[in-house]
Amino acid sequence: MPSTGYFTHPAYLRHDTGPGHPERAARLAAIDERLRAGGIGSELARAEAPLADPAALATVHDPAYVERVEARIERGERVLDEGDTRVSAESWRAARAAAGGAIAAVDRVMSGELANAFVGARPPGHHAERSHAMGFCLFNNAAIAAQHARIAHGIQRVAIVDWDVHHGNGTQHLFERDPSVYYASIHQWPLYPGTGLEKERGIGAGEGTTLNVPMPPGTDDAAWLSAFESKIVRALEDFAPELVILSAGFDAHAADPLSQTRLSTDAYRTMTEACIAIANATARGRMVSLLEGGYDLDALSRSVEAHLIALARAARPS
C-alpha cells in the first residue's frame, strides 16, 4: 500500500552555512534522531533525492541566475545576498538535491506510489526570487515542485500552503499573476521579509489566488488556528486543488529564536490534518510537504514528528 515518503540526501548535511548560522545541518540531524527514537521513522518510505537538472530550476528562475549561482559557488564565494544566505563548496549540489527531492516527491505521489511525502531538505526555498537568493534560500523548491506538477503531470490547480512564520515572498512573486496556483500564507507580521500584507491578493489574471493572513507577534494556537481554518481552509475548499504543496516551516513555535509567535507542537498536527482534509476532498489525498524554517532543534524535531505522524496516519488504509 502507498505510504508516506521521506526524501533526504547526504548533501543536505554538507551545505555549510558557517558558525552561528541558524539554518544549519544540526537541524536535519535533530529531526532524524527524533524520528528514529520515536518509532515513526520505521513507517516512512525513505528515499534519496535525485539532483535536479539546472533546466528544472530554470522553469521558475531566470536561467542566467541559475548559472550565476553555480559559478559563484564554484569560485568559492560564501555569501550570495546581503549577508544571510551563506553557502559552501557543497551548496550547489545540496540546492539541486533540495529541488530534486521536491520534484521526485511530486512524481511518486502523482503516480500513486506514495500517498504523500515530506522532503527534509536544506537549503530551504520560499524566499528565493526569480533572479536572486535571500533569506537562506537559493532556489524556490515549492515553486519548482508546483511548476513540475503542471508541466509533467498536467495538473491545472495547485495549492501552495505556507505556514512558515516568515512570509514566502519568492513563492508569492513567482505566481502572483497565475490563477492556476493558489498561494496561501499565514505568517507573523511585522517580520522579515516585510511582505505578505492582506492587500496583496495577486495581480492581473492572478488576482484572488494569493491569500495572505498576517498575524501579530505573540499570537498563540487559538488565534492562529482560528485564522488558518476560517481563511485558508475555506479559501482552498473553494479553489479545489488537484495537488497540495506545503511550505512547512516550523519557526512559529513558541521556542523558536527567530520569531515572537507562540505556537505549540500540537498546532502543526492540527494544520497538517486540515490540509490533509483538503487534499482528500479534491486532490485524491495528494500532498507534498517541503521543509522550510525552524531553528530551535528540540521544537523543530518535535514539530516535524507531529507533522509526519499525521501524514503517515493519512497514508494508512482505513
Question: Is there a catalytic annotation at residue 127?
Answer: yes
Catalytic residue among 9, 126, 127, 148: 127
C-alpha 288/C-alpha 246 separation (Å) is 6
C-alpha 182/C-alpha 158 separation (Å) is 6
Which residues are bridge partners to 210 per DSSP?
Answer: 183
Helix axes 26-38, 297-315, angle to 10 degrees: 50
C-alpha 137/C-alpha 125 separation (Å) is 5
Query: Other C-beta atoms within 10 Å of 30: how many?
Result: 20
Strand duo 45-48 + 3-8: pairing: parallel
Q: How far apart are the first and last CA of the chain?
A: 11
User: Any idea which residues carry the catalytic annotation?
Assistant: 127
